[in-house]
Structure 1
Amino acid sequence: MKIILAIGAGSFIGGVFRYLVSVVIQSRIPTTFPYGTLGVNFIGCLLIGLVFGMADRGNLDLGWRLFLATGVIGGFTTFSAFSLETVLMIRDGQYLYASAYVVFSVLLGLAATFVGISVIKLL
């Protein structure tokens, strides 16, 4: 139960920071291109890489890793988890799985979003 609460608290923190960072970035660049989201995704990927780098060296116990990676960074951006999982597959030599994961994640994600929007338009 302690781990669940730590992940939940981290998710809250990450979600709030996602909003704040995205708004700050987007407000500084007058365009409709989603620089705020792009910036959040980049920062989240960098942070999850740092957390897992520390965990690989044995400098981070499971509780802190779950709080930071799953909670805070996961709440900040789920793209970071997608990026880490892909990098780990590549590192482990699972190039076919990594490629399939990237292609299917992007295509299925876009398709699901389109279907969801279309369903609501039909109602």
Structure 2
Amino acid sequence: MIELLVVAVGGGLGAAARFMVDGEIRARHTGGFPWGTFVVNVTGSFLIGVFSTLLYTLTFLGVPGDVALLLQLALTVGLCGGFTTFSTATVESVRLAQSGRMRLALANSLGTLATTVTAAGLGVAVGGVAVGGLFG
């Protein structure tokens, strides 16, 4: 039951953060490309990479496994899962295509995929550097 609670709290915080960040970006960047969703998804993917790498090492630092799992669930599944929104990115791509803006639709779909995977990989690398600093 505690796992459900930490995911729910993290998810709520992530969704609220997404709402604020997306709204700020949309207010500044009007036009065809959905920059708010794109930035949220790239940032969230990077954080998933960082958090996953850092939290993986907690057991090596003597943190009990159940505590490490709760932190992992709260931060990656909850917070980052609530923050990122790939379903919205897909809907935005479909709407762009339906309005005849195929290039923007493809840029959004393929750009989101490539950039979020790259961001997650960079997050893992950054987390690894941080872990190396802990153990080096």
Greater relative CO, 1 or 2 (CA 8 Å, sep 6+) = 2
Confirm whether residue 29 of structure 1 aligns to residue 29 of structure 2.
yes
Count of residue pairs the alignment pairs up = 84
Give me the CA root mean square deviation: 2.4
Can you list the C-alpha shifts for 1:38-87, whole angstroms capped at 9, x where unaligned?
A: 000011011101101102322671111100101010011154xx959x96
Aligned residue for 2:51? 51
Pairing of 1:96-115 with structure 2 (within 5 A): none
**Aligned with 1:74 (options 70, 73, 81):** 81
Identity %: 33
**Unmatched segments (≥5 aa) in structure 1:** 88-123
- Amino acid of the structure 2 residue aligned with 1:75: G
- Amino acid of the structure 2 residue aligned with 1:69: T
TM-score normalised to structure 1 length: 0.60
Can you list the C-alpha shifts for 1:77-108, whole angstroms capped at 9, x where unaligned?
A: 154xx959x96xxxxxxxxxxxxxxxxxxxxx
Aligned residue for 1:3? 3
TM-score normalised to structure 2 length: 0.55
Aligned residue for 1:39? 39
**Unmatched segments (≥5 aa) in structure 2:** 87-115, 122-136
The separation in 2 between residues aligned to 1:6 and 1:56, in whole angstroms, is: 18
